[in-house]
């Protein structure tokens, strides 16, 4: 029978980073449910580290995208970053290094907490912050751990952003249902001429099935179509 949490040195071997201060690693892996049950021990949870780790994650991913995709516009880079800096991806990366096995959880979280995607996401961000602080604020050190894990996810997201035509997918789905064509209606324009923002709704007959915002009408229409596909649960 496995005894949780697993020893921290096993995690250090997995992530190929040896902590100078194991206390900060333990804090990164401590959920608030555990710290609340051990207040008398002055036990800290990982929420503050999670806050810092979110920023460290964003700067590393942004820096990588800026250099790797030097011809891609800001809007596409933002979409790629949003696709990978999310609960689904971060919990997946946490699962790859079996981060759940090392978490300190309260009694109420022990049954499902080690596989809870939100808890895993937060712990992964806290781990990034712990490495950052322990390495004397070295972005390069955190990048050495993070990039091999996240770059494959970035590459998938990059192909999706450039190659997925949501309007075509939605139109094909609607036609397969034997219904009418989709209409896209611009309901709002704002901002100066050189930096306008458009808001578009996708309509099926008189029903609004999606809404999208973009820096061009085309981008707004694509985002409206994507929301409609999510509504219909079409992948």
Candidates 50, 121, 125, 221; catalytic one: 125
Cβ–Cβ under 8 Å, residues 137 and 128? no
Catalytic residue among 37, 54, 76, 95: 54
Indicate if 21 belongs to the active site.
no
Side by side, the strands of the sheet bearing 197-204 are: 182-190, 197-204, 207-214
Helix or strand run (H / E) with residue 204 = strand 197-204
Measure the CA–CA gap between 127 and 45, rounded to whole angstroms: 12
Q: Would you give the DSSP letter of residue 85?
A: S
Tokens of 125: 């961000």
Query: To which H or E segment does residue 207 belong?
Result: strand 207-214
Helices H / strands E in the chain, number of each: 10, 3
Structure-derived torsion over alpha carbons of residues 39, 43, 45, 46, reported in degrees to the nearest 10 = 170
Does residue 54 carry a catalytic annotation? yes
CB 91 within 8 A of CB 120: yes
Active-site residue list: 54, 125
């Amino acid at each position: 029978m496995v005894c949780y949490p697993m020893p921290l040195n096993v995690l250090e071997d997995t992530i190929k980073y040896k902590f100078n201060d194991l206390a900060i690693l333990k804090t990164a892996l401590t959920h608030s449910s555990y710290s609340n049950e051990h207040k008398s021990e002055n036990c800290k949870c990982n929420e503050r580290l999670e806050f810092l780790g979110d920023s460290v994650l964003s700067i590393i991913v942004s820096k990588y995208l800026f250099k790797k995709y030097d011809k891609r516009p800001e809007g596409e880079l933002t979409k790629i970053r949003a696709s990978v800096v999310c609960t689904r991806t971060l919990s997946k990366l946490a699962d790859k290094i079996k981060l759940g096995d090392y978490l300190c959880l309260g009694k109420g979280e022990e049954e499902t907490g080690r596989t809870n995607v939100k808890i895993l996401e937060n712990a992964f961000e806290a781990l990034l912050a712990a490495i950052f602080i322990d390495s004397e604020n070295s972005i390069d050190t955190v990048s050495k751990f993070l990039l091999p894990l996240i770059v494959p996810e970035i590459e998938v997201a990059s192909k999706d952003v450039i190659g997925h035509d949501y309007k075509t997918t939605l139109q094909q789905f609607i036609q397969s249902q034997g219904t009418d064509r989709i209409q896209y209606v611009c309901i709002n324009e704002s901002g100066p001429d050189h930096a306008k923002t458009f808001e578009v709704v996708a309509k099926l007959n008189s029903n609004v099935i999606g809404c999208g915002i973009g820096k061009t009408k085309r981008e707004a229409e694509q985002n409206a179509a994507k929301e409609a596909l999510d509504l219909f649960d079409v992948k």
